[in-house]
C-alpha cells in the first residue's frame, strides 16, 4: 500500500523498491494499491520546502513507483491476498493518516483502517516499516511494533520520539538492535508480533547505510511471507 512518491510527502521510494525486490525474491505475486485522495501537501524535494501552488493525488503519484500497475485502495480485499505491506515515508503520516500533524490524536484514512482491521480479523500478516508502524499502533490496540530505538543517540535515531507516540497511541514499542557484530551482513532486526501477525522494521528511522536498511526490510518481508504459511 503506497502513499505517494517521495519521502517527504509520499512513499519512501528506496523502501518500496526494497520491499518489491524481497517479495520478488520470495516468489510472491504483488498488487499495489493507494488511496485515491489528495496529498496533504506537495514538497519540493530539492529544497525540502512545501510547493504552495501545487496539489497532487496520492494514487496518481503512487503509480510512478508501481509503473502504472496500481489500483485504488478501496478495491483491496483480504479474500484476494495473503498479506499486506506498508512502506514508510512521510506519506504514511500525512496521507494515510494525520500523524504528522496530530500525533497521538491522529486519524487514519478510512480505507487504510478498514484494510488493517480486515487483515487482522482474517489472521493474515501485516508488514510495516519506518514510520508506518504508527498506523498499526493506532488501529490495532496493543499491537507490538518497532521504529528502532527510543533515544536519539546523538542523531543516529533522529525520529526516536516516535516510540513514545506509539505508546500513547496504545501500541507496545519494542527496541531493536543490530545483529551481533560478528555477522557478515549486519542489519536491523524485524519485530514479529506473533499474536497479531504484525511485522515491523525501522528502515530509515535510523541514519545508517542503505544496505542495512535494505537487509532490515528483507527480514520484515521474509517474516511476513513465513506467517502466510505458504
Catalytic residue of the set 129, 130, 174, 206:
130
The yes-or-no verdict on residue 187 having pLDDT over 60 is no
Catalytic residue list contains 129: no
Alpha helix segments (H runs only) across the chain: 13-25, 58-65, 91-94, 99-102, 110-121, 133-139, 161-168, 210-228
The pLDDT value recorded for residue 186 is: 43
| Local confidence band at 164 (pLDDT 50, 70, 90 cut-offs) | very high
Judged by DSSP in three states, 79 sits in helix
Pairing verdict, β 70-72 and 32-34:
parallel
The pLDDT value recorded for residue 182 is: 45
Domain borders along the chain are 13-228
- Cα-based angle 190, 84, 14 (whole degrees, multiple of 5): 60
Q: Give every CB contact of residue 195 below 8 A, 6+ residues apart in sequence.
A: 144
Mean pLDDT, residues 38-45 taken together: 97
Residue burial 73-92, b: 16+ Cβ < 10 Å; e: rest: beebebeebbbbbbbbbbbb
- If one counts every other C-beta atom within 10 angstroms of the C-beta of residue 101, the result is 12
pLDDT digits 0-9 by tens, 62-77: 999 999 999 999 999 9
The pLDDT value recorded for residue 189 is: 82
Q: What is the pTM of this model?
A: 0.94
Nearest to 200 by CA among 119, 132, 129: 129
The yes-or-no verdict on residue 217 having pLDDT over 90 is yes
The pLDDT value recorded for residue 177 is: 62
DSSP 153: T
The yes-or-no verdict on residue 180 having pLDDT over 60 is no
CATH class of 13-228: alpha beta
| Local confidence band at 198 (pLDDT 50, 70, 90 cut-offs) | very high
The yes-or-no verdict on residue 184 having pLDDT over 80 is no
- CA 222 to chain centroid, in Å, comes to 15
% of the chain exceeding 90 in pLDDT: 91
pLDDT digits 0-9 by tens, 42-101: 999 999 999 999 999 999 999 999 999 999 999 999 999 999 999 999 999 999 999 999
The yes-or-no verdict on residue 122 having pLDDT over 60 is yes
Judged by DSSP in three states, 157 sits in coil
Average pLDDT, the chain: 94
Nearest to 131 by CA among 163, 175, 106, 107: 163
What region, left, alpha or beta, does residue 187 occupy, with left being phi > 0 and alpha being psi -120 to 50 degrees? beta
Matching residue, cell 509503473 = 67
Q: Is-contact 133 91, C-beta < 8 A?
A: no
Amino acid at each position: 500500500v503506497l502513499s505517494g512518491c517521495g519521502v517527504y510527502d509520499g512513499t519512501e521510494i528506496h523502501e518500496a523498491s526494497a520491499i518489491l525486490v524481497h517479495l520478488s525474491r520470495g516468489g510472491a505475486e504483488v498488487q499495489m494499491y493507494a488511496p485515491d485522495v489528495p496529498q496533504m501537501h506537495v514538497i519540493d524535494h530539492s529544497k525540502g520546502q512545501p510547493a504552495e501552488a501545487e496539489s497532487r493525488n496520492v494514487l496518481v503519484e503512487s503509480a510512478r513507483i508501481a509503473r502504472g500497475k496500481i489500483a485504488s485502495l478501496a478495491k483491496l480485499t483480504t479474500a484476494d491476498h495473503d498479506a499486506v505491506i506498508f512502506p514508510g515515508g512521510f506519506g504514511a503520516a500525512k496521507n494515510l493518516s494525520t500523524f504528522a500533524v496530530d500525533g497521538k490524536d491522529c486519524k487514519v484514512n478510512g480505507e487504510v483502517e478498514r484494510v488493517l482491521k480486515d487483515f487482522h480479523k482474517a489472521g493474515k500478516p501485516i508488514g510495516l516499516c519506518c514510520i508506518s508502524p504508527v498506523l498499526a499502533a493506532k488501529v490495532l490496540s496493543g499491537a507490538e511494533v518497532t521504529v528502532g530505538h527510543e533515544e536519539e543517540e546523538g542523531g543516529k535515531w533522529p525520529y526516536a520520539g516516535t516510540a513514545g507516540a506509539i505508546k500513547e497511541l496504545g501500541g507496545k514499542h519494542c527496541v531493536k538492535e543490530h545483529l551481533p557484530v560478528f555477522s557478515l551482513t549486519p542489519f536491523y532486526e524485524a519485530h514479529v508480533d506473533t499474536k497479531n501477525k504484525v511485522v515491523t522494521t525501522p528502515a530509515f528511522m535510523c541514519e545508517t547505510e542503505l544496505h542495512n536498511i535494505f537487509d532490515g526490510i528483507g527480514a520484515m518481508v521474509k517474516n511476513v511471507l513465513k506467517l502466510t504459511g505458504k
